[in-house]
Amino acid sequence: MKRIGVFTSGGDAPGMNAAIRAVVRTGTAQGLEVVGIRRGYQGMIDGDFIELGPRDVANTLQRGGTVLLTARSKEFMTPEGRAKAAQNLRDAGIGGVVCIGGDGSYRGALKLVEEHHIPIVGAPGTIDNDLYGTDYTIGFDTAVNTALDAIDRIRDTAASHERVFFIEVMGRHAGFIALEVGIAGGAEVIVLPEDPTSAHACAQVIEASASKGKKSSIVVVAEGGYEGGAEALARDVKLCSGIEGRVTVLGHIQRGGSPTAIDRVLASRLGAACVDALLAGASGVAIGEVNDEIRLTPFKEAVEKRKDINRRKYELAKTLAL
Question: Which candidate in 128, 141, 236, 263 is catalytic?
Answer: 128
Query: Is 255 a known ligand-binding residue?
Result: yes
Say whether 214 counts as a known binding-site residue.
yes
> Is 212 assigned a ligand-binding role in the annotation?
yes
**Does residue 152 have a known ligand-binding role?**
no
Q: Is 22 annotated as a binding residue?
A: yes
Question: Who contacts 58 (Cβ-Cβ below 8 Å, separation ≥6)?
Answer: none
Residue 236 is among the residues annotated as catalytic for this protein: no
Please tell me whether 186 is known to bind a ligand. yes
- The answer to whether the annotation marks 238 as part of a ligand binding site is no
18: annotated binding-site residue?
no
188 annotated as belonging to a binding site for a ligand: yes
Binding site per annotation, positions for substrate: 126-128, 163, 170-172, 223, 246, 252-255
Q: Which residues are catalytic?
A: 128
Binding site per annotation, positions for ADP: 21-25, 155, 186-188, 212, 214-216
Binding site per annotation, positions for Mg(2+): 103
Binding site per annotation, positions: 11, 21-25, 72-73, 102-105, 126-128, 155, 163, 170-172, 186-188, 212, 214-216, 223, 246, 252-255
